[in-house]
Chains A and B, each alone.
Chain A
Amino acid sequence: MLETAGLSRTFGGLRAVDGVSFAVREGEIMGLIGPNGAGKTTLFNLITGFLQPTAGRVRFRGEDITRWSPDRVTARGMARTFQNIRLFRGMAALDNVVVGGHVQTGATLFDAVLGTPRHRREEREIRARAVELLALVGLADRAAVPARSLAYGDQRRVEIARALATGPRLLLLDEPAAGMNTAETQALMGLIRRLRDDHGLTVLLIEHDMKLVMGLCDRIVVLNFGRTIAEGAPDQVRRDPQVIEAYLGAHTARPREARPGTSGPPVLAVDRVTAGYAAGDVLHDVSLDVGAGQIVTLIGANGAGKTTLLRTISGLVRPRRGTIRLRGTPAGGMSPDRVVGLGVAHVPEGRQVLARMTVLDNLRAGAYARRDADAVGWRGGAIAQDADALLARFPELRARRRQVAGTLSGGEQQMLAIARGLMARPTLLMLDEPSLGLAPRIVERIFGIVREVNADGISILLVEQNAQLALETADRGYVLETGRIVRQDRADRLLGDEAVRRAYLG
């Protein structure tokens, strides 16, 4: 049904998808998995025409569709959903699905203006079809609700109904279960099975929820650093050592010896915090401490709520319940700039350096909230000195200090993001996925920096996909699963723990 041969795509120097060849057979449900940044969504975009490959071919239903535009691909019988839901937000749920009927109809503007029978018949048909499809995904009673007002899980299902309205033979689902609760995920699995069994669809899906992938898929392809590292039945893939390593990380550093517990109040104390977004709570009763001088890591699968917890501590998300204390000061619901003032530096996922500013200006921006007396001076105050000191620590950045940050490599951007965080002279540094999309050698360097920074007395809260490496670096670890802390212990005891493996691979 679908076949790729040597499909590749580079972004600048990064090989996002690197010679991927695989095939989806008619009537099967195939899973596409891999750690964050492995290139899964890029591969979807290459197949559906949203991105042009730099090399390789795509064949679909016996036709070479390489470099076709997305609308042609859809017309040929391939429909997709998007990772970060792209509904027509202002339209009602039903109207979203009706738009999906576009390629199934052909009435022209003249038909509509003149009200020809063709226009009227088609309108009747696609409305009826849209009503059926909404009922199929279980949203018949939400038809008139504007898409933007629907709950997150409902939005995902409207997207599926909309994709089905294009009359596809192959359905590509990008993280269909993201943001769904357990019951919704169960219902979704039933739906996908019915689409295959009753409607004869072939399904290719990207998903991080391993229960879904392992329970639903006939075969699975695993991607890491843009390459396929395994392909086969769920049980086979789950036991593949390369897959386990891709997800949990390999043994790279030697486990650190346990350090004595710290005295005095913790730098950060999160107590029974519940928080989330308009669509629903992501965190439930989460409690977590970071002691002075400690490295604490928070691990868990994608969508577990790790980033949301960091954002809540930073003041970007308001906690609905519970308290957050920073060195004893209540900080729950405080604005982000005041949290920074209390000595918290947040290095966000995906670095988020100020791409159009130079390295030096990025560092200066990191010191924006500082109010120390000698921060600025006639010939460089403390801020300038700190910037010099950091550039000395990061020779890679020193060489590029006048370069615009957007032109740095991923690893350099990650270093810059950390250095920028340090410019605020924090007592607590929060790192969100610092190893994301970086080659092992660079990851090693970044984690070396984390240990160095910690040796200077700065406490660290580390969110990391690479659980192995994170646990080898940290003093203590917390395992987060669907918004709840399911396990906490000394990091060396969590290493090799079954709960950790389950949290990632199901």
Chain B
Amino acid sequence: MTAVTGFYAAYSTLILFSGVAALLALSIYVTLMAGQLSLGNAALAAIGGYTAAILTKTYHTALWPALFAGAALATAVAVLIGIPCLRLRGIYLAIATLAFGEVVRVAALNLPITGGALGLVGIAPLVSFRHVYGTLAVAAVFFYRLERSRTGRALAAIREDEAAAQAMGIRITAYKVLAFAIAGWLAGLAGGLAVHFTYLINPAQASFGEAVTILTYAVFGGTGTFAGPIFGAVTLTVLPEALRFLKEYRLLLDGAILVLVTTYLPNGVLHPVLGGRVAAAARRLARGRGSPQREMRRA
């Protein structure tokens, strides 16, 4: 056994979790691109997860059709939820989408087909590295292109100023619904992938806590470019494991890191502005003098 395969054997679950977390972070990122704070992603992932699990477990469907079916259902639900919710803004949209998450959780808790509080167990182990990271790679290429496209610009314009975006002829409702649909697809896919290497799913996966965790991936990594949420998701998934030696103080440090990042790096760890500042600071150092006035003006 080589070192690489040995490492993978020891940490495979963690590695797969990181990939799924990255997909979930991208799913919240796409709505944030349009300036919409939607917190329904955990519930959408649960919809995708339950659907795919039921299909492979009960109906012995092949993996990809099951995953796509789950993603499609999550997309449909996201659009249905999205259209009325788009009348809401900011914190009200966040509350409404959180409430949607609760509805999904309670439904999963009470429906016979989802297995109640215990959820579904014994799901076939169908997903491995290539499924998760293949999907993530496709998603990354998609976002790379999206950010450099007419559609990406329209989303960014909506985020910056909706009225001005409309004055540019951008149909803001259509683009917001599109963002919700992409978010639903990604979350549904992530949920379907996850259940096939954790082998179980239960209503807790649609909970408030999960929704907030996904948000922290994006906030931590930064929402200036798609690489930020991916970085945040991987870091925040791996970090708790790396900090296991801290035992009961681990959560404390987790929290402290988040507080520090949001306070001192409000744009997240990976952000073009920060990159620019680091470069500017380096240039100043190279010239051997600071320029406080310039900093003032920028602020």
Contacts and interface: CB of A to CB of B under 8 A. Distances in A.
B164 interface: yes
B89 interface: no
A99 B153 contact: yes
Given A50-B166, A79-B167, A80-B167, A112 B157 contact: no
Interface string B273-299: 000000000000000000000000110
B160 A90 contact: yes
A103 to B, nearest CB: 3
Contacts of A99: 153-154, 156-157, 165, 168, 170
Interface string A105-131: 101110111010001001100000000
Contact of A103 (B142, B157, B160, B169): B169
Contacts of B74: none
A86 interface: yes
B164 A71 contact: no
Contacts of B171: 69, 71
A113 B167 CA distance: 26
Contacts of A50: 163, 166-167
A88 B151 contact: no
Interface string A45-76: 00010100000000000000000011110110
A119 B152 CA distance: 13
A102 interface: yes
Interface in B160-215: 160-161, 163-172, 178
A314 interface: no
B167 A88 contact: no
A100 interface: yes
A105 B168 CA distance: 12
A79 B166 CA distance: 10
A194 interface: no
Contact of B168 (A115, A123, A166, A278): A166
B146 interface: yes
Interface in B108-148: 141-142, 145-146, 148
Contacts of B170: 71, 99, 102
Contact of A109 (B146, B161, B168, B172): B146
Given A102-B154, A107-B149, A107-B150, A70 B160 contact: no
Contact of B150 (A91, A122, A278): A122
Interface in A298-325: none
Given A88-B156, A112-B145, A82 B163 contact: yes
Interface string A92-104: 0001001110110
Contacts of A248: none
A98 B153 contact: yes
Chain B interface size band reads 20 to 34
A108 B297 CA distance: 39
A165 B153 CA distance: 14
A123 to B, nearest CB: 8
A299 B252 CA distance: 60
B167 A48 contact: yes
Contacts of A119: 149-150
Contacts of A48: 167
A295 interface: no
B169 A87 contact: no
B160 A89 contact: yes
- In this complex, which of B152, B153, B170, B172 has the most chain A Cβ atoms within 10 angstroms of its Cβ? B153
A109 B151 contact: yes
Contact of A102 (B148, B153, B297): B153
A346 interface: no
B144 to A, nearest CB: 9
A71 B157 contact: no
Interface string B216-236: 000000000000000000000
Contacts of B150: 102, 105, 107, 112, 119, 122-123
B168 A74 contact: yes
Nearest to B174: A71
A71 B169 contact: yes
Given A107-B150, A112-B146, A113-B146, A88 B169 contact: no
Given A74-B169, A113-B145, A108 B163 contact: no
B167 A70 contact: yes
A70 B164 CA distance: 10
A75 B298 CA distance: 36
A1 to B, nearest CB: 19
A63 to B, nearest CB: 16
Contacts of B149: 107, 109, 111-113, 119
Interface in B245-262: none
Nearest to A114: B145
A422 to B, nearest CB: 36
A182 interface: no
A87 B167 CA distance: 11
A102 B169 contact: yes
B166 A69 contact: yes
A82 B168 contact: no
B167 A103 contact: no
Contacts of B161: 86-89
A122 B168 CA distance: 17
Contact of A75 (B146, B153, B154, B169): B169
A252 interface: no
B157 A115 contact: no
Given A74-B169, A109-B178, A112-B145, A82 B164 contact: yes
A315 B142 CA distance: 51
B166 A70 contact: yes
Nearest to A90: B160
- In this complex, which of A100, A109, A163 has the most chain B Cβ atoms within 10 angstroms of its Cβ? A109
Contacts of B165: 88, 99
A352 interface: no
A91 B160 contact: yes
A40 interface: no
B257 to A, nearest CB: 26
A443 B242 CA distance: 71
Nearest to A126: B150
Contacts of A111: 149
Interface string A161-185: 0110110000000000000000000
A100 to B, nearest CB: 5
Contacts of B156: 88, 91, 99
Nearest to B164: A86
Contacts of B152: 112
A91 B155 CA distance: 12
B274 to A, nearest CB: 13
A7 B243 CA distance: 67
Nearest to B272: A90
Nearest to A108: B151
A86 to B, nearest CB: 4
A98 B149 CA distance: 11
Shortest Cβ-Cβ A-B pairs, 10 listed: A112-B149, A103-B169, A74-B169, A88-B160, A86-B164, A70-B166, A109-B151, A113-B145, A99-B157, A71-B169
15 contacts: A71-B172, A75-B169, A82-B167, A87-B160, A87-B164, A89-B160, A99-B156, A99-B157, A103-B169, A112-B150, A115-B145, A119-B150, A149-B298, A165-B168, A278-B297
